[in-house]
Chain A
Amino acid sequence: MKETKIAVKDLSLYYGDKQALKDINIDIPEKRVTAFIGPSGCGKSTFLRVLNRMNDLIDHVKIDGEVYIDGVNIYDKSLDIVNLRKNVGMVFQKSNLFPKTVYENIVYGPRLNGIRDKKLLDEIVEKTLNQAAIWDEAKDRLNENALSLSGGQQQRLCIARALAVEPEIILMDEPASALDPISTAKIEELIHELKLNYTIVIVTHNMQQAARVSDQTAFFYLGELIEYDRTTKIFTNPAKKQTEDYVTGRFG
C-alpha cells in the first residue's frame, strides 16, 4: 500500500445530541481513490466534510477525535482552516458554480490566493479545463455565464474550479449522481487520470462506479465504519455479513 495521506483516529461527530459518526478509524493512502459507500443517511457526506472541516460551518456540530493530514492534526485549535481548505478541495453532489462566467469561476480560487497576472490566470484556466476534460467544449464559451452549460459540463467545470486551487486532496460527494451515463463515464475517466497526482475520496451510491474507479472502499452503516479494504476484496469477498448484503443489493 502507498503512504498514508489522511489518518483518522477515534472520530465521533454529533449534530446537537444526535451522534452521526461513531469512533471512526481509517487511513487513506496517498494518490489513490478511496470510495465511501453505504445506505442513505449513514454519514458518508458528514464524514467527507470532516476531512476539510466544512462541518464547522454548520451550527451545533460537535466533533471528538483527531484527523491527521501529512501528520498534522487538522482539528488543532490554532490551525488555519482557510489554508486547510485550499489544500483539500471539494466537489459537491449538485454543481454549485457561481453565477459568473466560465472564466471567472475557474479563476476564483487562484484570485483568492493573490494571483493577479492575466497571463498566468489564462494559463491556469486552460490547464485546469484540460485536466477536467472540458477544454474543447468550453474554450469558445469562456465568457458565457457558466450556468448556461449542461449539467454534465457544469459538474466537470466544478472539478476544474477545484483543481485550479492546486489542492493535494480532492473530496467528491456523489459527483455523478445527477448525470447521464456519458457524462458519468467522462467523470470516471477523469478520476482515473487525476489519481496520478491527487489523493481522491469519493462518495457514491453506485456500486459499479465504486468498483470501477476506486482502489479501496469503505462501507459505512448507521454512522459506523463497518469494513474498509481493497475494493476488489470488498466486492468479491467481504469479511462482514452486512457488507456482503449491501454490495450484493440485499438491503439498503
Chain B
Amino acid sequence: MEEKDFFSKSADSKYAKRIGKFTRVKESAIKFFFAVNGAMALIFIILIFIFLFKEGFKALEHIGLLDFLFFDRADASGIHQKVFEWYPTSEEARYSLVPLLLGTLLTAIPATIISTLLGVGTGIYLSEVANPKLKEFLKPAIELFAGIPTVVLGFIMLAVGASFFNDLLNPTNRLNAFVASIGLSFVIIPIIASLTEDALHSIPNDLRMASYGLGATKWQTVSRVILPAAFSGVSASIILGFGRAIGETMIVLMCAGNAANITADIFLSVRTMTATIAAEMGEVSQGSDHYYALFFIGIVLFTITFFLNLAAEIIISKMRKKNTF
C-alpha cells in the first residue's frame, strides 16, 4: 500500500473515534469536584495547625519554656527549690507539664502493652485461625466496638470497672492509672486487632503453603513466616494504638482520678494532658496565662501524635511497597 493511501484512510478507520465534548467536560467537572474536596480538607487541617501554634506560642511569651518544666521556688532563707507541679490557679501559679506528661505515659503505656498482647492475638486469630464465616462476623463486630463513644466506656469503667478492681487489687486510690488504662484498652484493642488482621491477611497465601509444605505446624508458620513478614504492619498498628491512647480524653478524665501526682505507681491517681485541657478549658478566661498554657499542652499533644502517626504511615507505605513482589 502507498504511504499516502495509508494516511488518507485514517478518517474512517475504527481507530478514529474521538471523545465527545460533553464527556470531556464531565470528566473535568468530576476531577474538579474531588480536587476541591481534597483541598478543603487540607486547608482546614492547616488552619487548625496555624491556630494551635499561634495561640500556643503566645504561651511562651506569657510563661517561659523553663516554667513548663518546673517552678523555681525560693523560700525565706533564699534557698531555691525546683517544684514540678501543675497548679495554674494558685496565687503562685505553677505550670510544670511533668506530672501531666507522666500521667499520660502512665495510662498510655500500660494500655498499649495490654492492647498489644490482646490485639495482636486477636488479629492472629482472625487472620489465621478463625474460619471464614466466623471471621466475616467477628471482624466488623470488633471494628464496631471501636466506634462506641468513649464516654460510654468511661462511664462503664467508672461505675463497674473501678469498683471491681478496687475489691480485687485494693489500690491506693480507687480511680487510678491502671483503671484508666484498662478503659483505654477497650478502645485500642480493636484498632490493633483490625490493623494486625489487615497486615497478616496481606501476606500472600503462597508463603503459608510453602511453610506447610515443608512440614511446619500452624503455629510455626505464624510465628516464623507470617508474623516476621508482616512485622512492619503489625508495629505500625501498635504505634497507631499508642497514639490513640495518648490522645484519648474522656476515659482518662473519668477514670484516672485527675490528681496531678508525680509518680510511677500505676495504682495512684494521675492526670493526663488531655484530661487537663478538657477539664480546665471551660473555666479559664480567654487570654489569661492559664488559657495559653492549655494551648501549649495542645501543641505538645499534637506534636507527639503527629509524629507517631507519621511514623506509622511511613512504615505502612514501606510495607505496601515491599509486598508488591
| Chain A residues packing against B (C-beta within 8 Å) | 52, 54, 57, 59, 82-83, 85-86, 89-90, 92, 94, 96-100, 108-109, 112-113, 147, 158, 161-162, 165
Contact of B215 among A59, A96, A109 (CB under 8 A): A109
Binding site for A on B (CB under 8 A): 131-132, 204, 206-217, 220, 224-225, 228-229, 322, 325
User: Which one of A52, A89, A98 lies within 8 Å of B229 (CB-CB)?
Assistant: A98
Whether the Cβ atoms of B224 and A54 lie closer than 8 Å is: no
Q: Given contacts A59-B131, A98-B207, A98-B229, is CB(A54)–CB(B214) below 8 Å? A: no
In the complex, given contacts A54-B212, A59-B131, what are 8 additional A-B residue pairs having Cβ atoms less than 8 angstroms apart? Answer: A54-B213, A85-B213, A89-B213, A90-B213, A92-B206, A94-B206, A96-B204, A99-B207
Nearest Cβ on chain B to A158's Cβ, whole angstroms: 8
Q: Which of B208, B214, B217, B229 contacts A99 (CB 8 A)?
A: B229
A106 to chain B, nearest CB (A): 11
B230–chain A nearest beta-carbon distance, Å? 10
In the complex, what residues of B have CB within 8 A of residue A108's CB? 211, 214, 216, 224
Tell me if A98 and B213 are in contact (CB < 8 A): no
Q: Which residue in chain B gives the minimum CB-CB distance to A112?
A: B216
In whole Å, how far is A147's beta carbon from the nearest beta carbon of chain B? 5
Q: How far is A147 from B325 in the complex, measured between Cα atoms in Å?
A: 8
A13 to B207, CA, bound (A): 25
A-B contact pairs, 19 of them (CB 8 A): A54-B209, A57-B208, A57-B209, A82-B215, A82-B216, A83-B215, A85-B212, A86-B214, A89-B213, A90-B213, A92-B206, A92-B209, A96-B204, A96-B206, A96-B210, A98-B207, A98-B211, A109-B215, A161-B214
Distance between Cα atoms of A158 and B213 in the complex (Å): 11
Question: Are A165 and B215 closer than 8 Å at their CB atoms?
Answer: yes
Q: Which chain A residue has the least Cβ–Cβ distance from B323?
A: A99
Within the assembled complex, what's the spacing in Å between the Cα atoms of A97 and B213?
Answer: 12
Q: How far is the CA of A108 from the CA of B214 in the complex (A)?
A: 8
Complex contacts, A82 vs chain B, CB 8 Å: 215-217
Partner of A98, one of B210, B215, B220: B210
CA distance A98 to B206 in the complex (A): 9
Q: Is the CB of B132 within 8 A of A59?
A: yes
Given contacts A59-B132, A108-B224, A112-B220, contact A96 B207 (CB under 8 A): yes
> Which 8 residue pairs of A and B lie closest in terms of their CB atoms, listed nearest first?
A86-B215, A96-B206, A90-B213, A96-B210, A109-B214, A85-B215, A82-B215, A147-B325
Check A98–B225 contact: CB distance below 8 A. yes
**How far, in angstroms, from A238 to B191 measured CA to CA in the complex?**
62
> Shortest CB–CB separation between residue B280 and chain A, in angstroms?
50
The CB with the most chain A CB atoms within 10 A, among B212, B214, B228, is that of B214
Q: B214 contacts which of A59, A85, A100, A147 (Cβ < 8 Å)?
A: A85
C-alpha spacing A129/B132, complex, angstroms: 39
| Shortest Cβ distance from residue B222 to the other chain A in the assembled complex, whole angstroms | 13
A85 to B206, CA, bound (A): 16
Residues of B within 8 A of A86 (CB): 214-215
Query: Which of B208, B210, B214, B322 meets A112, CB within 8 Å?
Result: B214
Cβ contacts under 8 Å, B207 to chain A: 96, 98-99
CA distance A86 to B325 in the complex (A): 27
A165 (CB) vs chain B CBs: closest residue:
B214
**Contact residues in B for A59 (Cβ distance below 8 Å):** 131-132
Q: Tell me the minimal C-beta distance from B93 to chain A in angstroms.
A: 56
Does the CB pair B220–A92 fall under 8 Å? no
Name the one of A52, A99, A100 contacting B325, with C-beta atoms under 8 angstroms.
A99
Nearest CB to that of A90 among chain B residues?
B213
Q: Out of A83, A97, A113, A147, which one reaches B210, CB within 8 Å?
A: A97
